[in-house]
Structure 1
Amino acid sequence: MAKLADGLRVIDADSHMTERHDLFTERAPKGYEDRVPHVEQVDGKPMWVIDGKTFGKAGSGGTVDHDGKKHAFRASQGGSWTIDDVHPAAWDAAERLRLMDELGINAQVLYPNEIGIGGQNLRNSVRDEVLLRLCVELYNDAMADVQEQSGNRLLPMPIMPAWSIDDCVREAQRCAAQGARGVNMTADPQDSGSPDLGDHAWDPFWEVCAGLNLPVHFHIGASQTALAYFGTTFWPSQDHYVKPAIGGASLFQNNSRVLLNSAYSGMFDRHPTLQMVSVESGIGWVPFMLEAMDYELLENAPAWAKKLQKTPSEYFQSNWYATFWFETGRGDLQHLIDQVGEDRIMFETDFPHPTCLHPSPIEQVSDTIATLRPQTQLKVMGGNAAQLYRV
């Protein structure tokens, strides 16, 4: 392995933790044990059930087996695997910490799996807002315990009740009081019946997130709109195993619409300290999009451009972060990072998903990372994340 900068502290800004089957039931108040998410055998298969309705297979949430071998999506997570087939670190916090120690990772940011990466599977399955609010709180309380018990080495991003702006405000405040270092937000709350994020109705939520130092995270695939996009980008004639490769690659650039909309909306003029993170989307598309967003606005809406306090691309440098993992910059990663901005990039592994760096994430990227300036290495591999997440 190539020698990396002295003092390097690796923080993984995107990984996933599969929900334990008893995550909700062990905390449910009396009378709600059978209504909150739990696992039942349906036609011989383990299925997640909420309020009597199934909302998906109780799967593995990962592609890494007990021996640390990674498998194709269709043959594992997207196939017949259950939680018993995946590496225990995919769902057990103690095992995750042990694996992190083996891999040389100091801390990890965590996102959900079975309930939807943005928690959207809950809202899609039931309309009882009292039950939905309870489910959100149960999940976030469980994740707060994971964070506390790990000594802030595991940093789960709490999900937000996107169907209600007032509830989002209250839940963000509640989670911040429990020690949360950010929030996990869907890019499309309109899927749940709320206004889109550019609507001024969301200003109270942005104000709370900015004031409590809660960066707002937009993970790819964290809404029904995004997942529909995933399922329509490949040609029907493509091979069964190729389709998720096309869908996955398409999702990376799909996050650019959140960057575009937020920069054009004026929200950062009203909330200049608000921070957002584009998660698991890579960074290679960012330089082109920064140019495109400036050019397109001037060409199509010059009067609106004059209303903004900055050029659209400048909002990335002041209000956005992006994560990367397998990218090499086609042999010149330093040049790519300089174009994006070394203060606005964080490293991730995506464990235990199909594109994760496994079984040796640091070794896999060491040759490329070693080509970066020492200061850049320290920032993108952990320093930026340590500052953003206060660890």
Structure 2
Amino acid sequence: MAKLAEDIRVIDADSHLTERHDLFTERAPKGYEDKVPRVERIDGVDMWVIEGKTFGKAGSGGTIDPQGNKHPFRSSQGGSWGIDDVHPAAWDTGERVRLMDDLGIDAQVLYPNNIGIGGQNLYNTLDDKSAVRMCLELYNDAMAEVQEESGNRLLPMPIMPAWDIQACVREAQRCAGLGFRGVNLTADPQDSGSPDLGDKAWDPFWEVCAGLNLPVHFHIGASQTSLTYFGTTYWPSQDDYVKPAIGGASLFQNNSRLLLNSAYAGIFDRHPDLKMVSVESGIGWVPFMLEAMDYELEENAPAWFDKLQKLPSEYFRDNWYATFWFETGRGNLQHLIDAVGEDNVMFETDFPHPTCLHPDPIEKVSEKIATLRPETQRKVMGGNAAELYRI
């Protein structure tokens, strides 16, 4: 392994936790046991069910088998694997912490799996939004327990009830009281009936998140709109194993629309302390987009360009973070990170998903990370995350 700078604290800014089958049923209030998600075996497959409706397979949520071997997506997570086929660290938090110890990872930020990375599989299933809100609160309560029991080494991002802005405000306030260090929001609340995020109706939510130091996280694939994008970018004639590679790579750049829209909408002029995170999107597209967003707005909407308090690209520097894991900068990673901003980049592993840095993430990236300036290494491998998440 190439020698890294001294005193590096590794914080993994994106990993996933597969939902245990009893996550909801063991926490359901008395009399509501049949009104929360549970797992039923249907035609030989474990499925998540709520009030008679299925909302997805209760699958593995990962591609790493119990022996630690990695498999292609179509042969594992995207195939027949159930929760017993995946490495126990994918769903057992005790096993996760033990694996982190083995790998030299101090803390991990966690996102959901089967219920939808932004919770969309859950809240798009039921018309009774009061029932869905209860389920989201049960999920968030369970994740608060995970964080507390891990001693803040596991930092789940709680899901927001995106169909109701005022409910999002209340849940963000509640989650801050539970000790969460950020929130997980779908990129497309209009999918569930709310205004899009550029609407000023969201200002009370942005104000609460900024005031409570809750960065707002947008993970790729965290909406029905983005998943549709994932499923339509490849040509139908492509091999079934190639299709997820095309869809996955397309999702990275899909997150650029969040940066563009948030900057142009004036959100950060009204809420200058608000922080947002583009999760699992990589960083290679950022420098080009910073140039494009300035050029395109001035060319197409000069009056709006002049109305903003900053250049559109400056909002990334002041208000955004992005995560990276496999990128090399084509041999000049320092140049790439400098172009993005070394204060705006965080390292991730994406465990246990198809593109994760398995089996030894730090060793896998050490050669390229070692090419960075020592201070850059400390920031991107954990310092920026430690500051953002107050750990």
TM range (shorter): over 0.9
Q: Which aligned runs of 4 or more in structure 1 are off by greater than 2 angstroms?
A: none
Larger CA deviation: 204-213 vs 29-38: 29-38
What residue identity is the alignment partner of 1:365? V
Quick one: distance in 2 between partners of 1:127 and 1:356?
35
Query: 1:262 is matched with which residue?
Result: 262
Query: 1:158 is matched with which residue?
Result: 158
Query: 1:120 is matched with which residue?
Result: 120
Query: 2:190 is matched with which residue?
Result: 190
Quick one: distance in 2 between partners of 1:274 and 1:259?
13
Deviation at 1:39, TM superposition (A): 0.1
What residue identity is the alignment partner of 1:186? T
Whether contact under 8 Å (1:291, 1:313) holds in the other structure is: yes
Q: Is 2:38 the counterpart of 1:6?
A: no
Q: TM-score, normalised by structure 1?
A: 1.00
Deviation at 1:364, TM superposition (A): 0.2
Whether contact under 8 Å (1:159, 1:183) holds in the other structure is: yes
Query: 1:51 is matched with which residue?
Result: 51
Query: 2:98 is matched with which residue?
Result: 98
Question: Which string of whole-angstrom CA distances, capped at 9 and with x for unpartnered residues, describes residues 223-260 of structure 1?
Answer: 00000000000000000100000000000000000000
Q: Give the root-mean-square deviation of aligned CA atoms.
A: 0.4
Residue aligned with 1:234, SS: coil
What residue identity is the alignment partner of 2:252? F
1:163-312 matches, cutoff 5 A: 163-312=163-312
What residue identity is the alignment partner of 1:247? G
Larger CA deviation: 199-208 vs 39-48: 39-48
Deviation at 1:373, TM superposition (A): 0.2
What residue identity is the alignment partner of 2:240? H
Deviation at 1:101, TM superposition (A): 0.3
Quick one: distance in 2 between partners of 1:124 and 1:275?
27
Residue aligned with 1:342, SS: coil
Query: 2:336 is matched with which residue?
Result: 336
Query: 2:25 is matched with which residue?
Result: 25
What residue identity is the alignment partner of 2:68? G
Deviation at 1:32, TM superposition (A): 1.5
Deviation at 1:44, TM superposition (A): 1.6
Residue aligned with 1:39, SS: strand
Quick one: distance in 1 between partners of 2:199 and 2:355?
34
Query: 2:369 is matched with which residue?
Result: 369
Quick one: distance in 1 between partners of 2:43 and 2:82?
15
Residue aligned with 1:343, SS: coil
Q: TM-score, normalised by structure 2?
A: 1.00
Deviation at 1:143, TM superposition (A): 0.1
Q: Is 2:60 the counterpart of 1:60?
A: yes
Question: Which string of whole-angstrom CA distances, capped at 9 and with x for unpartnered residues, describes residues 24-82 of structure 1?
Answer: 00000122112211100111211000111001111000000111111000000000000
What residue identity is the alignment partner of 2:58? A
Quick one: distance in 1 between partners of 2:123 and 2:152?
29
Residue aligned with 2:313, SS: helix
What residue identity is the alignment partner of 1:216? V
What residue identity is the alignment partner of 1:156? P
The percentage of counterpart residues that share the same residue type is 82
Quick one: distance in 1 between partners of 2:243 and 2:211?
42
Question: Which string of whole-angstrom CA distances, capped at 9 and with x for unpartnered residues, describes residues 167-206 of structure 1?
Answer: 0000000000000000000000000000000000000000
Residue aligned with 2:85, SS: coil
Query: 2:346 is matched with which residue?
Result: 346
Whether contact under 8 Å (1:4, 1:370) holds in the other structure is: yes
Q: Is 2:153 the counterpart of 1:147?
A: no
Quick one: distance in 1 between partners of 2:225 and 2:171?
23
Matched residues, number: 391
Q: Is 2:79 the counterpart of 1:79?
A: yes
Whether contact under 8 Å (1:35, 1:52) holds in the other structure is: no
Deviation at 1:125, TM superposition (A): 0.8
Quick one: distance in 2 between partners of 1:92 and 1:123?
24
Deviation at 1:122, TM superposition (A): 1.1
Whether contact under 8 Å (1:3, 1:366) holds in the other structure is: yes
Deviation at 1:136, TM superposition (A): 0.5
Deviation at 1:129, TM superposition (A): 1.2
Question: Which string of whole-angstrom CA distances, capped at 9 and with x for unpartnered residues, describes residues 319-354 of structure 1?
Answer: 000000000000000000000000000000000000
What residue identity is the alignment partner of 2:91? W
Whether contact under 8 Å (1:40, 1:47) holds in the other structure is: yes
What residue identity is the alignment partner of 2:297? L
Unaligned residue ranges in structure 1 (runs of 5+):
none
Residue aligned with 2:262, SS: helix
Deviation at 1:102, TM superposition (A): 0.3
Quick one: distance in 1 between partners of 2:237 and 2:380?
39
Query: 2:130 is matched with which residue?
Result: 130
Quick one: distance in 2 between partners of 1:303 and 1:50?
50
Quick one: distance in 2 between partners of 1:158 and 1:123?
14
